[in-house]
Structure 1
């Protein structure tokens, strides 16, 4: 296996995460993120997106079994000693969770909560940490005076900005945003997304952004990985994956979002029947085949690995690449 490329802030190799009872939440995921690059991860609830995000900083529950490699600046997070992991969190990579009200401490002022990781990592004195918190609030578009506010005194969008300020407090090179705009109205959502894009551009951060909304990810990210049943089933340039998905699951996700000006999608919205499979009882073959409108008989017994679908794109489907030609020949004989 080749050494990680210098431009990669993050390189995930063959990552598997299994919870107690044999629940396979993440299966063989490979992912790279470079400086200044925005990578989106899409999929329905239960497809392994948040588990992947938690695994990147070893935030999974104690009973989870993890294998593979998570290389952060070339150093494997999974083999770090706990002291090193604590040093890497916030300073090397940080995470913005969905639902800021559940992540912020209700009885502490937001400025103190932003200053806390700065103090814990020994990056400033108490007075310096308070100044840093004020600067960060202004950086994310809030007045420095809001540092004295409690979380309940802020709107949802303001609280989410506080979470982003906390994530940036120790100058990380990688930010993981897990559904950062969930439950926000569309105007505030647009502001938060523009803010993330601006910060990535100005500070040359790497961004991993997780969402079920392909439209949001296609507008925000450079590349997009679509997950289903714990696996990446399609990967490529974000706009191309959204507009011309090669995997049937990616097509279904894209079709679920109506497009402005498209009367067909307005009056006849398309969805995807059923739900993702139970990770503890995955179907044989391709996990998507029970819901797939173009599944072949072989899909029920043969799983598919990611293969080239076009320049810079890949998909794990029997209808993609040389395998598709062979399958069509078999089906006609």
Structure 2
């Protein structure tokens, strides 16, 4: 097994000791994920996440974001074929043996899934579900695991007594807090949050986002957050990567990508959110017609060119790769280095 930057010693309980602080915490190198005969969901993704950093992944549904999230801990179905490298503190997740992978899940990295009601077991009390990974990974007694569950609930803003509740007895926001408590159960260094606020109303969404930010800061946890909402990621993350048709098409500081995108797709995502106080964007909201391409039938050339409002003739024949687009920024567009006109406003449907 590959090991760089130090390997965490595995405990007798199947957990892992403190992770190394040398080098990036997470490196994704040339990751490809293919389903069936040729459904290319992720195509050559490269990402780096440092300890304590917050990285956002943006894009429409069907761009490969959730597939990427699940691939990080090998949670994809058996039909998925993966290649490349996913280095978590120097160890390649794709080559880990089952025992090591089981130890790294929860204790090394954990996931907050979207739709907590579908992720929680409806016939078990939430306290039992939070305590389960503690029992499996730390070797704690049942009583200690129950106390830990209560402590975790209080950390996410719920009374410890709610540990006796079943999922259906909690509101959507409370269930999402339970999912966050579960993700924190074994003190991971990395949390992957896959659309953690999609099913929540705007007030609860704001509360959950502030909670995640506070916990990440207090516990010095790295965060990889996935969302279709560019404004949420710009407000929460340090850096932002925009995915389209299974590839990263733009990457850079989150606020810069949101306010001054260098790829036409990033521009379109940003323009879809009206600015407060900007009458023009309120009266003529922008959008992007059509949908991302079918990953089993990708168009030739740049995969975004059929929807791109500023495409050139060569975009239909020549694919684009990420190139420097400013300090700490990359974009996969033939116009990088020149001014990219904003997409034309699209009338509301």
Of residues 263, 266, 274, the one that matches 2:282 is 266
Q: State how 1:267-286 maps to structure 2 within 5 Å.
A: 267-286=283-302
Query: Could you report, residue by residue, the CA deviation over 1:114-162 in whole angstroms, capped at 9, with x for unpaired residues?
Result: 0001111133110000000000000011010100011011110000000
In 1, Cα distance between equivalents of 2:70 and 2:271: 29
Query: Could you report, residue by residue, the CA deviation over 1:221-266 in whole angstroms, capped at 9, with x for unpaired residues?
Result: 0000000000000000001000000000000000111111111111
SS at match of 2:131: helix
In 2, Cα distance between equivalents of 1:34 and 1:140: 24
- Tell me if 1:228 matches 2:274: no
CA contact (8 A) 2:138 2:186 kept: no
Query: Could you report, residue by residue, the CA deviation over 1:74-119 in whole angstroms, capped at 9, with x for unpaired residues?
Result: 0000000011111110010000000000000111100000000111
The root-mean-square deviation of aligned C-alpha atoms, in Å, is: 1.2
In 1, Cα distance between equivalents of 2:321 and 2:30: 12
In the alignment, what sits opposite 1:245? 261
CA contact (8 A) 1:69 1:77 kept: yes
In 1, Cα distance between equivalents of 2:178 and 2:317: 48
Shift of 1:8: 1.3
Gaps of 5+ in 2: 6-20, 340-349
In 2, Cα distance between equivalents of 1:244 and 1:318: 17
SS at match of 1:295: coil
Query: Larger deviation: 283-292 or 27-36?
Result: 27-36
In 1, Cα distance between equivalents of 2:48 and 2:174: 31
Shift of 1:200: 1.1
In 2, Cα distance between equivalents of 1:7 and 1:195: 28
In the alignment, what sits opposite 1:170? 186
- Tell me if 1:316 matches 2:332: yes
In the alignment, what sits opposite 2:18? none
In 2, Cα distance between equivalents of 1:128 and 1:34: 32
In 2, Cα distance between equivalents of 1:252 and 1:43: 10
In the alignment, what sits opposite 2:214? 198
SS at match of 2:158: coil
- Tell me if 1:218 matches 2:234: yes
- Tell me if 1:179 matches 2:195: yes
Between Structure 1 and Structure 2, the one with more helix by share is: 1
- Tell me if 1:129 matches 2:145: yes
In the alignment, what sits opposite 2:49? 33
- Tell me if 1:50 matches 2:61: no
Structure 1-normalised TM-score? 0.95
In 1, Cα distance between equivalents of 2:309 and 2:207: 37
CA contact (8 A) 1:229 1:287 kept: yes
Shift of 1:204: 1.0
SS at match of 1:291: coil
In 1, Cα distance between equivalents of 2:215 and 2:78: 33
Shift of 1:7: 3.8
In the alignment, what sits opposite 1:22? 38
Structure 2-normalised TM-score? 0.90
- Tell me if 1:63 matches 2:63: no
In 2, Cα distance between equivalents of 1:44 and 1:289: 16
Of residues 135, 157, 163, the one that matches 1:119 is 135
In 1, Cα distance between equivalents of 2:23 and 2:81: 29
In 2, Cα distance between equivalents of 1:125 and 1:146: 20
Gaps of 5+ in 1: 326-333
